[in-house]
C-alpha cells in the first residue's frame, strides 16, 4: 500500500492566497471604518443638538436624513419651495446625492453609510458571538415580506402629504435611536410607542439578519427601485461558476447570488459575496447598465 501525500502549495499559490486574504481584510476594514465614521457623526450631531444653548443653533438628525427629502419633496414641488416642518433644503440635497449615488453604485449607501444598517450588522455579530440561532423565513415568505418596505413607504408618503408633518417621526426606529431623546429627555409615558417599535425592530434584527432593511425600511424601498438602473452591479459569470453557493452564506440580506446573472437591486453593496467566491472573476462589480433583475 502506497501512501500518497497531498502536494504542497508552491510559492505562487501561497502568494495568491495571501493576497486574497489581504484583499478581504482590507475591504471589510474599509467598510467597517466607513460605517463607524458615519455613525459617529450622527451621534455627535444629535448630542450637539441637545446640548446647544440656542434652539436651532445646530442641525437635528431630521435635517441630516435623505429620507426627509423624500417626505418633503411633494410639498416643495407643489407649494413653491415650502418644506414639511423639521425638514430643510439639506434633506433635498442629501436625497439628490443619494439618488446619484444609487444610480452609480446601487445600494452601497445601505451597506457602507447608513448608521442603522451598522447597528444591525453589530447585532448580527452579537448573535453569532452569543451562539444564537438565526431565524430564516422560508424563501416564499421572505419574498412576500420584502414588499413591506413599499407598503411602509406608501403609508408614510400618504400620511405626510395629508398631515403636512413628519408623521413617521413618532414611529421611526432610526430617529428614536439616534435622536437620543431617550438619553436627554426620556419620557416613557409620552414616547412608549416609539420605544416599543424600536425595541421590536432591534430585537428582530438580533434574530433575523438585517430584518429592518429587508422588510420595513422605506428608504431601502426607494433605493431598491432606483438600484434597478444603477451602473455598477455585481454580476456572475455563469461559465466560471461551479454552483458551490459559498457566495450566499455571508450575504447579510440573504439574496440569491449563486443562480443570478445580475445580483438583485436589494443588494447593499457589502461585497461579502464577491470576497467569498473561490473563483476569481466569477463574481465581479462591473460597470454596465441594466434594466433587469
Structure confidence by residue, pLDDT tens digits, 66-75: 999 999 999 9
Q: What is the pLDDT of residue 22?
A: 78
- d(Cα 129, Cα 280) in Å, to the nearest integer? 30
Q: What is the pLDDT of residue 58?
A: 83
pTM: 0.88
- d(Cα 29, Cα 274) in Å, to the nearest integer? 15
Q: Domain ranges in the chain?
A: 32-226
Q: What is the pLDDT of residue 55?
A: 74
Structure confidence by residue, pLDDT tens digits, 51-107: 987 877 788 899 999 999 999 999 999 988 899 998 999 999 999 999 999 999 999
Q: Which three cell numbers stand for residue 272?
A: 461579502
Higher pLDDT, 18 or 222: 222
> What backbone phi and psi angles, to 5 degrees, belong to 250?
-85, -5
Amino acid at each position: 500500500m502506497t501512501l500518497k501525500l497531498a502536494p504542497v502549495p508552491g510559492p505562487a499559490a501561497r502568494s495568491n492566497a495571501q493576497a486574497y486574504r489581504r484583499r478581504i481584510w482590507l475591504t471589510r476594514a474599509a467598510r467597517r471604518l466607513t460605517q463607524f465614521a458615519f455613525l459617529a457623526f450622527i451621534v455627535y450631531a444629535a448630542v450637539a443638538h441637545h446640548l446647544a444653548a440656542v434652539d436651532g443653533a445646530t442641525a437635528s438628525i431630521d435635517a441630516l436624513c435623505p429620507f426627509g427629502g423624500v417626505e418633503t419633496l411633494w410639498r416643495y414641488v407643489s407649494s413653491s419651495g415650502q418644506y414639511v416642518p423639521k425638514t430643510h433644503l439639506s434633506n433635498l440635497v442629501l436625497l439628490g446625492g443619494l439618488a446619484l449615488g444609487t444610480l452609480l453604485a446601487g445600494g452601497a449607501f445601505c451597506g457602507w453609510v447608513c448608521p442603522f444598517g451598522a447597528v444591525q450588522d453589530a447585532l448580527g455579530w452579537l448573535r453569532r458571538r452569543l451562539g444564537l440561532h438565526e431565524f430564516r423565513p422560508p424563501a416564499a415568505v421572505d419574498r412576500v415580506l420584502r414588499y413591506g418596505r413599499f407598503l411602509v413607504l406608501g403609508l408614510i408618503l400618504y400620511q405626510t402629504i395629508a398631515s403636512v408633518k413628519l408623521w413617521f417621526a413618532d414611529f421611526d426606529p432610526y430617529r428614536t435611536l439616534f435622536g437620543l431623546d431617550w438619553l436627554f429627555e426620556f419620557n416613557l409615558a409620552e414616547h412608549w410607542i416609539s420605544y416599543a417599535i424600536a425595541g421590536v425592530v432591534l430585537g428582530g434584527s438580533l434574530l433575523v439578519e438585517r430584518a429592518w432593511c429587508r422588510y420595513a425600511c422605506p428608504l431601502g424601498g426607494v433605493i431598491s427601485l432606483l438600484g434597478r438602473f444603477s451602473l455598477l452591479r455585481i454580476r456572475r459569470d455563469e461559465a466560471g461558476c461551479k454552483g458551490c453557493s459559498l457566495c450566499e452564506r455571508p450575504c447579510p440580506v440573504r439574496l440569491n447570488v449563486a443562480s443570478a446573472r445580475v445580483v438583485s437591486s436589494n443588494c447593499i453593496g457589502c461585497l461579502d459575496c464577491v470576497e467569498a467566491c473561490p473563483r476569481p472573476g466569477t463574481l465581479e462589480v462591473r460597470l454596465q447598465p441594466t434594466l433587469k433583475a
